[in-house]
Structure 1
Amino acid sequence: MQEYGLKNASANLAEMGLNVATAHWNLSPEELTQKTLELGQGELNDTGALCVSTGKFTGRSPKDKFTVKDAITEKSVDWGDVNIPFAPDAFDKLFDKVCAHFSGKEVWVRDAYACADPTYRLNIRVVNETPWANLFCNDLFLRPSEDEIKTQNHDWLILQAPSFQADPAVDGTRQANFTIVNFTRKIILIGGSAYTGEMKKGIFGVLNFVLPHDHKVLSMHCSANEGKDGDVALFFGLSGTGKTTLSADPNRALIGDDEHGWANGSVFNFEGGCYAKCIDLSAEKEPEIFRAVKPGALLENIVFKQGSKEVDYHDGSITENTRAAYPIYHIENAKDPSYGGEPKNIFFLTCDAFGILPPISKLTKGQAMYHFISGYTAKVAGTEVGVTEPQTTFSACFGRVFLPLHPTKYAELLGKKLEEHPEVNVWLINTGWSGGAYGTGHRMSLKHTRSMITAAMNGALDNVEYTPNNVFGVMMPTSVPNVPSEILNPRDTWEDKEAYDKKAAELAGLFVKNFEKYADQANEEILAAAPKVSVEA
């Protein structure tokens, strides 16, 4: 085996079961980019970012993600459609087959870690088939120093083999592609898919088990930023609801854009980079993200404008889930190290395809718990295989598909935090539709959403008048600086008020029906926050 690059002298791929021909360890972004170009696996755009295709899979495949069911997970994991069990012996056999697949190949190895708070640091080693996937890991995970690499041993191994195809009849998978998490062996095994998000979300799932289960730390699918006075804001939401966009604020330091932990006295980033949706990206709407697409960044599944190397960010012909991966330091005002203190404001972002929820509303603790457990939004096009237009969904804790434990475990931790910190403001933000449902109404203005969030964070909404929403009971401000007052009450934006009332009653019914599975574990305060199903026109 030939080995190149910086590594721990005691690190040995053969001991992991890998008998490769060549291993490149911890190459620089420049080296990985150059190697990708030499292999004909990508090309540069006009700003110097590396552009690649992830092939057949341009999004995650949740039905092909498995968790090994063993002594550690059997009684802890919430088994079902999200957490699909996989037999330990079947994993061992498949792992050996993937290792054999790597035999004699050239691989790229990276030492990285997760969790910016050193108390919870999780060391990661990744083995990739392609240099650009290794670049993704450099960009998205936290980067140890050269001195740390020389002594770092891994807690978890990610083995990514996109060209390996499983045989479902023999290997126990659903189809040829798979992502399998083994908490006993501390391995994430990925095959058949080159979509890099499987690696990122694989580690997120690991932390969603380890931190709440072992440390009583709330793991969160949210972005976070910090004001000049040290006030931290959290932005919860599924992919496509605006976490990355709204947390990239030029007037605030970015802690992170997607995954965080909330420990006593600390909100900390799990990652070292950002994985931003870049469909319709523009310098005008999202200048921080637009400027981050430069050498060292990775663009996935984009299309160039004809006859040029300029990206056509409006072209979703390959996928609506075009992505830009870049290290967090590409954002000019990123915080280093990427953690802060207790949050002051929490925003639940929902992309309401019904056009019913207010663009901004303030929640009581009971309402905060109810909406956190509900996790209502619309899946937007491209984030998952087969999603081509918004689909109404309830994703508990705004990230159900990433939660190994029962959703109430995370809700209980959030409730405890809100009890300990009653000064925290919780807001519901609708980044979806206004003036009608999807197809008739229009998408909420990003400019107005930014103004509402800014007003909430700088205290401009502390003393304004509020009115309750007639269905959901949340409190709607009657005025917000730089926002037309006529859009603040969603019913006022519909021409047909009776149609609004009927649609509102329909959405309320969906909330109540979805919450039935959690009702027996919810207290009276949470149950009282349920919307009114019967609404008079």
Structure 2
Amino acid sequence: LASLTRETGPKVVKGDPARKGEAAAKGAPPTPQAHHQHHHPAAPTIAVSDSSLKFTHVLYNLSPAELYEQAIKYEKGSFITSTGALATLSGAKTGRSPRDKRVVKDEAAAQELWWGKGSPNIEMDEHTFLTNRERAVDYLNSLDKVFVNDQFLNWDPENRIKVRIISARAYHSLFMHNMCIRPTDEELESFGTPDFTIYNAGQFPCNRYTHYMTSSTSVDINLARREMVILGTQYAGEMKKGLFGVMHYLMPKRGILSLHSGCNMGKDGDVSLFFGLSGTGKTTLSTDHNRLLIGDDEHCWSDNGVSNIEGGCYAKCIDLSQEKEPDIWNAIKFGTVLENVVFDEHTREVDYADKSVTENTRAAYPIEHIPNAKIPCVGPHPKNVILLACDAFGVLPPVSKLNLAQTMYHFISGYTALVAGTEDGIKEPQATFSACFGAAFIMLHPTKYAATLAEKMQKYGATGWLVNTGWSGGRYGVGKRIRLPYTRKIIDAIHSGELLTANYQKTEVFGMEIPTEIKGVPSEILDPINTWTDKAAYKETLLRLAGLFKKNFE
């Protein structure tokens, strides 16, 4: 294993296997520095019962430096950028393929999971799963080497899950090294059998003539076998989100709520959860200099408090700048994986504005790259549950306080409005509803998660808030986007407790409580009707949005 990773050559690597042999041959005593050597756990012997893989070489839990060497040497399109990150290409797929995701519908799954209209779970049978698994395993077996990562999910030691990721690309191995929790050498020694295994044969397509297949891409989950198979897509996010879906199934069985949310903690130990769909500011607002970051995307809420599921962050890079998001900017250094970015041929400086490969450019880095990350990534029970919506209709107030029923309603709705371009260039807001702010990943019916959320909020005394990071004074194209500094002031007021004692008035239609004043925020913007010059248009748009909510609920 080591000889393959490092090959031979100048004997500069401590613990180089070729060197030990030489010393013994010359009859020389072993070098006295031996006790400084880093002891690396042996690769697991993968038994037939364990995963039936028989490779030539298993590259087991390699370090980032070793993975850089493998990528640069053997994977076309791998480069080191000017800040030391590894730039890689994910091939034809630059995002997830939700239509190609399948879940085995056996007797248990048919009972437990959410199927049918609105559900992200598309069924396949056990036989088709085994056909695809066989195809993936045969492909991996045909290679001269594969990468195996043994890692953990969930920082709560009582409820962590052991995962094994078997892949063919150094890029995938480094990505998962960053995104999952990295075990210590002692933990690896006693790792044992994983709770869940991913076979990532993404370079190899599935057979489109197989039953249930709709393209040459297939991402298949079998909950009974605790396995996931990936064929025909090299986009690394499939592994991350596939495991997130699995956590949405395993955790509720233990009475733990799995959440698609950001999470941070103040100096006094007050924790806030941030829910929101893509583009609502979840990562931006949960990354706050005055607070410790517990995590930016996936969490569990148990009787012990909150814990991050992951060991890293997967940040969007489009239009990234040092001024707007200094923490993410500074995190992109040695060890970070940059996906599908474009850089200068000579200096290797990344141009984050360039979307010629894809708009979905990403950086995956270990959470330790964020200076104010809280390690271990756990915290006490949340005080605030903040639901973020980017309302392009411009009728939701910048902030409103929610009672328990309203929190459940907005959590199940998972609303935001995206701005989609039409042919003639007029951009119309489009309402998007994603149950539990993460419909693509939930396994059970949304009401199950909402009921658990309400129960935990009631039990631990958390307050619900709806924050609009979208438009004010008119819909998109008429009004203006609510300024980020104002939104930050609103979030600060929630954290400080200022909003708990504020005066409130009730809004029409949605019946939400809106504060009459907040320090540092102009009072006239707090009630959206004040910012619209055309009051009739405001009422009409408000009723239209309410109608969309109602229709979605049906």
Query: Could you give the per-residue CA deviations for residues 382-417 of structure 1, whole angstroms, max 9, x where no partner exists?
Result: 9xxxxx997421111111111110111111111211
Greater mean deviation of Cα atoms: 159-168 or 434-443: 434-443
Counterpart of 2:292 in structure 1 is 253
Gaps of 5+ in 2: 6-39, 422-426
Greater mean deviation of Cα atoms: 5-14 or 25-34: 5-14
- CA apart distance, 1:344: 0.7
Specify the SS of the correspondent of 2:197.
strand
Greater mean deviation of Cα atoms: 284-293 or 323-332: 284-293
Counterpart of 2:254 in structure 1 is 215
Change (3 A) 1:433 1:304: farther
- CA apart distance, 1:467: 2.1
Two-structure CA RMSD over aligned residues (Å): 2.1
Counterpart of 1:431 in structure 2 is 469
Specify the SS of the correspondent of 1:261.
strand
Counterpart of 1:490 in structure 2 is 528
State how far apart, in whole Å, the 2-side matches of 1:292 and 1:366 are.
Answer: 39
- CA apart distance, 1:211: 0.8
Greater mean deviation of Cα atoms: 43-52 or 267-276: 43-52
User: Do structure 1's residue 61 and structure 2's residue 101 form an aligned pair?
Assistant: no
Counterpart of 1:18 in structure 2 is 53
Please tell me whether Structure 1 or Structure 2 has the larger radius of gyration of its CA atoms: 2
Query: Could you give the per-residue CA deviations for residues 339-385 of structure 1, whole angstroms, max 9, x where no partner exists?
Result: 11110111001122222211211111111111111111135789xxx
Q: Is the 8 A contact 1:23 1:108 kept in 2?
A: yes
Letter in 2 for 1:275: Y
Greater mean deviation of Cα atoms: 404-413 or 282-291: 282-291
Counterpart of 1:464 in structure 2 is 502
Q: Is the 8 A contact 1:78 1:406 kept in 2?
A: yes
Counterpart of 1:31 in structure 2 is 66
Change (3 A) 1:260 1:381: farther
Letter in 1 for 2:90: T
- CA apart distance, 1:132: 1.0
- CA apart distance, 1:59: 1.3
State how far apart, in whole Å, the 1-side matches of 2:391 and 2:217 are.
Answer: 32
Greater mean deviation of Cα atoms: 404-413 or 435-444: 435-444
Q: Is the 8 A contact 1:2 1:21 kept in 2?
A: no
Q: Is the 8 A contact 2:392 2:418 kept in 1?
A: no
State how far apart, in whole Å, the 1-side matches of 2:231 and 2:480 are.
Answer: 40
Counterpart of 1:454 in structure 2 is 492
State how far apart, in whole Å, the 2-side matches of 1:200 and 1:309 are.
Answer: 28
Specify the SS of the correspondent of 2:139.
helix
- CA apart distance, 1:478: 2.3
Query: Could you give the per-residue CA deviations for residues 446-487 of structure 1, whole angstroms, max 9, x where no partner exists?
Result: 222111101110122233322222232111222222222232
Q: Is the 8 A contact 1:19 1:99 kept in 2?
A: no
Query: Could you give the per-residue CA deviations for residues 100-139 of structure 1, whole angstroms, max 9, x where no partner exists?
Result: 1112312211111101001111000101111011111011
Counterpart of 1:124 in structure 2 is 163
Gaps of 5+ in 1: 383-387, 517-537
Q: Is the 8 A contact 1:239 1:379 kept in 2?
A: no
Counterpart of 2:315 in structure 1 is 276
Alignment of 1:338-377 (within 5 A): 338-377=377-416
Letter in 2 for 1:191: L
Counterpart of 1:176 in structure 2 is 216
Letter in 2 for 1:186: R
Specify the SS of the correspondent of 1:476.
strand
Change (3 A) 1:276 1:286: same
Counterpart of 2:140 in structure 1 is 102
Letter in 2 for 1:49: A
Counterpart of 2:267 in structure 1 is 228
Letter in 1 for 2:79: E
Change (3 A) 1:121 1:507: same
- CA apart distance, 1:23: 2.0
TM-score by length of 2: 0.88
Change (3 A) 1:47 1:164: same
State how far apart, in whole Å, the 1-side matches of 2:419 and 2:79 are.
Answer: 28
Change (3 A) 1:49 1:13: farther
TM-score by length of 1: 0.90
Query: Could you give the per-residue CA deviations for residues 502-531 of structure 1, whole angstroms, max 9, x where no partner exists?
Result: 111110001111122xxxxxxxxxxxxxxx
Specify the SS of the correspondent of 2:444.
coil
Change (3 A) 1:46 1:2: closer
State how far apart, in whole Å, the 1-side matches of 2:162 and 2:521 are.
Answer: 45
Letter in 1 for 2:213: T
Number of aligned positions between the proteins: 509
Change (3 A) 1:310 1:481: farther
Change (3 A) 1:17 1:265: closer
Change (3 A) 1:226 1:172: same
Letter in 2 for 1:487: I
State how far apart, in whole Å, the 2-side matches of 1:200 and 1:433 are.
Answer: 32
- CA apart distance, 1:330: 0.4
Counterpart of 2:367 in structure 1 is 328
